[in-house]
Amino acid sequence: MPELPEVENTARDLKPLLVGRHVQAVQILWPRLVHGKAPEAFAVELTGRQIVNTDRRGKFLLFPLDNRRIWIVHLRMTGQLHLVPTQTEIDRHVHALLELDNGQQLRYRDARKFGRFYLVDEAEELLAKLGPEPLSAAFTPLELFSRLQGRRPAIKTLLLDQRVLAGLGNIYADEALFAAGIDPRRPASTLTQADCNRLHMAIRQTLATAIREGGSSLGGSALTNYRRPIGVQGRFQQRHQVYRRTGQPCPRCGAPIERITLAQRSTHFCPTCQRYEPLGVGSS
């Protein structure tokens, strides 16, 4: 969290609010937020620049600037960007302030402090290793199949690997695997082309619906919960079929949803709808 749908909503919400605005001043209150350079240098380089677009690649937010450099933000666990009037009180989780030319401040809040800022000449410096965008034309069922060929890790583990596919995290990997009826523990190399066709469609539909619903807002407190830059929460958590529904009935068959740990991540699935029986086992 946040994953592709939440980052996409953040980029979309910020577009009409930020594009064309000039940055008049920058304050970094948590020095380690800035990757690869001194926070003072980052502040100097961003000051005076105009933000010309807002975009997303994987889970990265991209803000191209008028000097052709790109400010990139990774929200990681609990990062949030909000636009507020300058006089709004600054709470202890605000780690960066960007003063804009319209009396507003873009504020970065992050309770867990895992998020990072980057300022680069070319986005590829940071993004070259990312796999395809799941909603792009380049991501086809055949592309998915070929990326899983010969890969022994569990399919869920590979779906979380940003080099295989960009943008999926724990929520949408679990939801997509349920929608496709695929056991998250199954070795990726055992997926057939037909399995990949179903999984490809499930990934696209899950993400598209989640984007439309404003992403998922989950988590302990208002502090760590995902909120859109315009202050509202996502609604897709109301449509989760398996994620954090441990013990509740599967919406398809009624069996209790199970929770296991896979590659150190909690994993939710239906043991009936997502049953995998390797050839020669359990069949006659």
Q: Which residues bind Zn ion (CB under 5 A)?
A: 250, 252-253, 255, 270, 272-273
Residue 39 among the catalytic residues: no
Would you say 151 or 252 has its CB closer to Zn ion? 252
CB of 173 to Zn ion, least distance (A): 17
Q: Where are the alpha helices (DSSP H) in 61-192?
A: 124-127, 141-148, 155-160, 170-180
Neighbouring C-beta atoms of residue 236, cutoff 10 Å: 26
Q: Where are the alpha helices (DSSP H) in 181-219?
A: 193-212
Residue in 3, 6, 8, 175 annotated catalytic? 3
Q: Which residue is nearest to Zn ion (CB)?
A: 250
Residue in 185, 198, 265, 275 annotated catalytic? 265
Rg (CA), the chain: 20
Residue in 2, 39, 184, 229 annotated catalytic? 2
CB of 19 to Zn ion, least distance (A): 45
Would you say 197 or 272 has its CB closer to Zn ion? 272
Residue 59 among the catalytic residues: yes
| Token pair recorded at residue 105 | 């401040």
CA angle (133 as vertex; 138, 52 as ends), nearest 5:
110
Cα–Cα dist 89/231, whole Å: 16
Would you say 78 or 274 has its CB closer to Zn ion? 274
Would you say 222 or 255 has its CB closer to Zn ion? 255
**End-to-end CA gap in the chain:** 43
Beta-bridge mates of residue 46: none
Would you say 183 or 195 has its CB closer to Zn ion? 183
CB of 98 to Zn ion, least distance (A): 47
Residue 227 among the catalytic residues: no
CB of 142 to Zn ion, least distance (A): 28
Would you say 15 or 275 has its CB closer to Zn ion? 275
| Token pair recorded at residue 109 | 């809040």
Cα–Cα dist 240/95, whole Å: 32
Cα–Cα dist 246/262, whole Å: 15
* Parallel/antiparallel/unpaired status of strands 94-100 and 23-28: antiparallel
CB of 181 to Zn ion, least distance (A): 9
Residue in 49, 56, 57, 59 annotated catalytic? 59
C-alpha distances out from residue 236 to 9, 112, 126, 267, Å: 12, 23, 29, 18
CB of 270 to Zn ion, least distance (A): 3
| Token pair recorded at residue 249 | 């009935």
Residue 226 · residue 169 · CB < 8 Å: no
Active site residues: 2-3, 59, 265
